[in-house]
Chain A
C-alpha cells in the first residue's frame, strides 16, 4: 500500500530511536541531570557516596510522585496549586488518627479519602461551576492548610500510636537498599505511562487539553473527566503526604509549604505544556530529578541554598525556551 514517497517521509521522520528521543524535552533534561551528576562526582567526593545517592533518590521521589499527578492536570489544560496543602492535610489526618490509637491502614485510608475529597471539591468547582482552576486551587491552597491546622491545633505530632514503627518504616525505610518512596514512584510512573497511552481516560485527558470544545462535541464526558483528574492529582499528593509523615517522623503544619511550585516546575521542566495537551510521567520524574540534583549540588558545593530558586527559575525558562525553539523548527 505504502508508496515510495510515503516510505521516504516515514523514514526521515522516524529515522531512529535516538532522533525520536531527541524530540522529547525529557531526554534533554535527563542529559542535563546526568551531566550534573557526573560533574558533581568529579568535583566533590561527597556526591557519589551511597548515603548521599540514597538521600537524593528518596527526596526527589516525593516531588516526583506529585509531579506525575500535576502532569495529568496540566495535560488536561488545568493547574493545581493546592497540592502542597493537600500534602499537609493528609499527613495531618493520618498522624492525628494514628496518634489517637487507630491502626495504620485505617488511618491511611482516611487520609487518602481526605485528599480525594480535596480533589473532588476542586474538580466540581472547576468542571461543573466553571471557575478557573487557578482561582479554585489557590483558594484550596489556603483552605486545606487551614484545615490541617484546625485538625492538629497547630501542634507538632511525633507519636503515631501502636503502628508508629510501621509508618516510619514505610516512609523512611528501604528494601534492597532502595528507599521505599522510590518504589512507589516507579510503580506510579510506569502505570501512568501505560494509562496515558493505552486507556480512553488517558487519551481523553490529552484531547481535553488539546481542544476542550472538540472533546465536548465528540461526546467525551469532559466534566467528569476533569473531576477525576483533580482527584488523581490530590491522590498523588496524599500518597506523598503519608510517605513524608513516615520519613520525617514528625508532622508540623508547615509541611509541604511552597511545594506546589517545585512540583509545577518539575512537570514543566519535564515537558508538560501549561497550555495543555502535552506531558509525560517520565518527564515529570526527570524534571523532579534535575531539581533535586541541583538542590543537592548547591549543598555539597557549599553554595548558599538561597540560590536554589534562581537555578530552578532559570531551568523553567530554559525548558520553555527549548520548547519554543523545537516548535519553530518543526513549522519550517
Chain B
C-alpha cells in the first residue's frame, strides 16, 4: 500500500487550469523528485497535498485512506509536513523555539502551565544530533547559516512524526557544502521510513537522492519513472517539451 496516492487531481483558478488529472504514488522510505519549469504546477500540487488548496477534482489517499482537508492543520494531522523554500522560521526566536513552535511542551509550576524550555532544548538537541547537524538549540535563527536553518525546519517535521515530507527547493540559495549537508538530511529522513517529495530545479541534487522522478509540464504529469531509468538530459527534454512524454 502506498503512503501517498494522488489520483486524478485537477485544479482550476477561474479559467486557468493549473493542474490536469495528475496521478502518482509514493511509497514509505521513497524519495520522489518532482520537477518542472516555473508555472508548471509544482507549487499548486504541493499546496493541495499540504491542505492549503482544495482540488477542483480528484482524490488524495494517505496510507490507503481517502483524505479531505480543509486547512493545513488537517494535513498535518495526517502526517503531511512541508518544508518551504523560505523555511517559514521566526528569525527572532531560538532554534529550539522554532522546532517546537505551536507545540511547545509544558510543565506544571505552582498550578500554572509554563513552557518546558529544558525539554525543548534537550529534544531539539537530539533531533539536530540525529540529523548530524551542528545547529545549537539556544542560538537565534537570525544568526544561522542556510544549512542550519534547513536542519531546524526539517527537525520540525521529525518532531511532528511526519509520514510525508514535501521539500520546496531545499538546495536553492545555499553553499555547495551545505547542499551536500541537506542531501544527507534527506537520505536520513528516507532511511527512517519517511516519504519525501523533493521539489527542485537542480538536476544533480534530484538525481543524487530521488528514487523516482516525476515531471510536470503545463499542469500535466508527463513522466513518472525510476531515476535510474532516466537521465538529466531526458528530464530536461521533458521539462521543456522537447520530449513529449516518457
Contact = CB atoms under 8 A, between A and B. Distances in A.
Interface of A: 1, 6, 197-200, 203-204, 206-207, 209-211, 213-215, 217-220, 277-278, 330
A220 B72 CA distance: 11
Given A206-B90, A210-B91, A214-B89, A198 B115 contact: yes
Interface residues of B, number: 25
Nearest to A194: B114
A288 B91 CA distance: 28
B93 A210 contact: yes
Nearest to B50: A217
Contacts of B113: 199
Give the dominant DSSP class at A's interface: helix
Contact of B104 (A1, A203, A206): A203
Given A206-B92, A213-B88, 17 more contacts: A198-B115, A199-B113, A200-B104, A203-B93, A203-B97, A206-B93, A207-B97, A209-B92, A210-B92, A211-B90, A214-B88, A214-B90, A215-B90, A218-B102, A219-B72, A219-B76, A220-B101
Given A203-B115, A219-B76, A220-B102, A6 B136 contact: yes
Interface of B: 72-73, 76, 82, 84, 88-93, 97, 101-104, 106, 109, 113-115, 125, 136, 143, 156
24 contacts: A1-B125, A198-B109, A198-B114, A200-B104, A203-B104, A206-B93, A207-B102, A210-B90, A210-B92, A210-B93, A211-B90, A214-B101, A215-B90, A215-B101, A217-B82, A217-B84, A218-B102, A218-B103, A219-B76, A219-B103, A220-B102, A277-B90, A277-B91, A330-B143
B114 A207 contact: no
A213 B85 CA distance: 13
Contact of A211 (B88, B114, B136): B88
Nearest to B90: A210
B144 to A, nearest CB: 12
A200 B115 contact: yes
Contacts of A330: 143
A207 B101 contact: yes
Q: List the 8 closest pairs (A to B, CB-CB), nearest first.
A: A210-B90, A218-B102, A277-B92, A214-B88, A210-B92, A198-B114, A211-B90, A218-B101
Nearest to A2: B136
B209 to A, nearest CB: 24
Q: Tell which of A206, A210, A218, A330 has the most Cβ of chain B within 10 Å.
A: A218
A220 B103 CA distance: 9
Nearest to A200: B104
A230 B82 CA distance: 31
Contacts of A197: 115
Contacts of A6: 136
Contact of B106 (A200, A207, A219): A200
A211 B104 contact: no
A185 to B, nearest CB: 22
Contacts of A215: 90, 101-102
